[in-house]
Structure 1
Amino acid sequence: MATSFKYANKYVLITGSSRGVGRLLSEYMIQNGAVVIGFSRGRPAYECENYHHISVDIGDPKSVQEGFAVVRKLVPALHILINNAGVATSQYAMIMSPESAQKMLTVNIFGAFLVSKEASKLMRKNKWGRIINIGSIMSSLEPAGGSIYAATKAALISMSNVVAKELSSFNITSNTLALSGYPTDMMRALAPDVLDGVINSLVIPRLTMEDDIFNVIDFLASERSSYITAQTIYLGGIN
């Protein structure tokens, strides 16, 4: 990863920051000059001068409000929100437990809504903000075994687009990066046939690489992307 200061003087909030894509993006932002606030239910996976970990259950409104009370004390502004936290259960609908389905609904869409709601209040003060939602290409591919997960990621896109309309007058954009297969614990939990089906359905049938993610994040977070909002970018392309 190239080191620069493209995010100098930027305060970034990333949910699900302790592992996977959340940790990857936290490290990337810090290496590029940002101060990162990480929301996660677990303990911080690493320590750094420019990283502040807050234990938050994003599906719990009270926990989110308490987390943002801490954010307001830690940083003078919030410029970028990356709604990354998510859970996935790959299982056919007929045998999926209600608990698994409810957890995906709570974290993947309700949690993203709660965090976006509070973050936008902070962004509005400075009339500048970037909300980037980490979606999934499964919202479009709709593979067998992914009924609730695909539905929550489709709902995330709809929510992002509506939020974009509501916040446009405050110079706040809201977009979605729909990931394809990237090697995380969540991906490894998928049934091999489901993962193979997803990869083989892409226009460019390969796994996602780190720089693929960084490239889109940089584009959506850029000062020059003030006219880019209510959009979804599908990594790997969809037919």
Structure 2
Amino acid sequence: MSTLYDDKVVLVTGARRGLGAVIADHFEQRGARVVGFSRHANEASTSDRRFDMAVDVGDPASVGAGFEAIRKRFGKLDICINNAAVLTSQYAMILPAASAKAMVDTNLVGTFLVSREAAKLMRKGKWGRIVGVSSMAVSLEPMGDSVYAATKAAVTTLANVMAKELAATNITCNTMGVTAFATDMLGQLPRDKVDAVIASLPLARMATREDVAHVLDFFCGPGSECITAQTVYLGGVH
């Protein structure tokens, strides 16, 4: 096990599966104590280094309860990865309002609520790293992803504004824009559509666990004190 994040407490939202599970595993393998927020977390899987909780990031009361548990168990939070997201890919004219609202509530409001509470804990320790997970959909603007892409663009704007507000407290806020990565969410999309998008990228391949880990370590590891309000896209998207 690496010791890069020894003594760090890391929160990962949407940690039960997909990209969130990969991110949580990465920090745990590098020495961190990891808190995972998911709507349907398997709380029985908790250990000394891993603490999973059932938290709906779009619900202020649920988020508040989750952070109270972090305070009681750890007394601090060092790193927050806002990964939780939902996607309904449909043309705007037939996209149900409920689906649009669900994306806004989870992808944007959830990121705001978690970032806000994370900053309150980090401020006490005078150090913190908040990373939002965005998407290549922001740049590519694919048909069928109007609301999803809009919420992910908002994640970047949110991080950039909060970076200014939190700079004096030694908390940085950055964004990782993920390209195609093998998850259940990606599996919702037609394979030919996914293949066409990948083929259009400057680096025409799926992202790997290592690709994601390198960006996270850039934002959260030693030497990142002067890196804030930045977005790094995988795959050459810009």
TM-score, reference length from structure 1? 0.96
Give how far 1:7 is off: 0.7
Superimposed CA distance per residue, residues 159-210 of structure 1 (whole angstroms, 9 cap, x where no aligned partner): 0100100000011000000000000000111122431232122110110011
Cα displacement string for residues 76-128 of structure 1 (whole angstroms, at most 9, x for unaligned residues): 21100000000111111111111111110100000000000000000001110
- In 2, are the aligned partners of 1:138 and 1:198 still within 8 Å (CA)? no
Q: Partners in 2 of 1:205 and 1:27 — Cα distance?
A: 26
- Residue 44 of structure 1 and its aligned partner are, at CA, apart by 2.1
- Secondary structure of 1:110's counterpart equals helix
Q: Does the 8 Å contact 1:201/1:238 carry over to 2?
A: no
Alpha-carbon distance in structure 1 between the residues aligned to 2:153 and 2:204: 22
Q: 1:89 is matched with which residue?
A: 88
- Residue of structure 2 in register with 1:197 after alignment: 196
* Equivalent position amino acid for 2:39 in 1: R
Question: Which ranges of structure 1 fall in alignment gaps of 5 or more residues?
Answer: none
Q: Partners of 1:106 and 1:230 in 2: how far apart?
A: 23
Structure 1 segments, 4+ long, off by >4 Å, are none
Q: Give the SS at the match of 1:8.
A: coil
User: 1:128 matched to which residue of 2?
Assistant: 127
Secondary structure of 1:175's counterpart equals: strand
Matching residue of 2:176: 177
Give the whole-Å Cα distance in 2 for the aligned partners of 1:201 and 1:150: 18
Cα deviations by residue, 1:123-148 (Å, 9 ceiling, x for unpaired) = 00111000011110111110111101
CA distance in 2, matches of 1:15, 1:227: 25
Quote the Cα distance in structure 1 between the aligned partners of 2:81 and 2:63. 15
Partner of 1:113: 112
Helix, strand or coil: the match of 1:130?
strand
Structure 1: distance between partners of 2:94 and 2:196: 21
Coordinate RMSD, CA, aligned: 1.2
How far has the Cα of 1:66 moved from its partner? Answer: 1.1
Aligned to 1:166: 165
- State how far apart, in whole Å, the 1-side matches of 2:179 and 2:35 are: 25
Distance 1:52 1:131 in 2: 19
Any stretches of 5+ residues in structure 2 without a counterpart? none
Is 1:9 the counterpart of 2:7? The answer is yes
The letter of the residue matching 2:120 is K
1:17-166 matched pairs, under 5 angstroms: 17-44=15-42, 46-166=45-165
Q: Which amino acid aligns with 1:17?
A: A
Normalising by the residue count of structure 2, what TM-score does the alignment of the two structures yield?
0.96
User: Aligned equivalents of 1:156 and 1:184: distance in 2?
Assistant: 20
TM superposition shift of 1:67 = 1.0
Tell me by how many angstroms 1:26 deviates: 1.0
What's the offset of the Cα at 1:217? 0.5
Identity %: 48
- Matched letter for residue 187 of structure 1: L
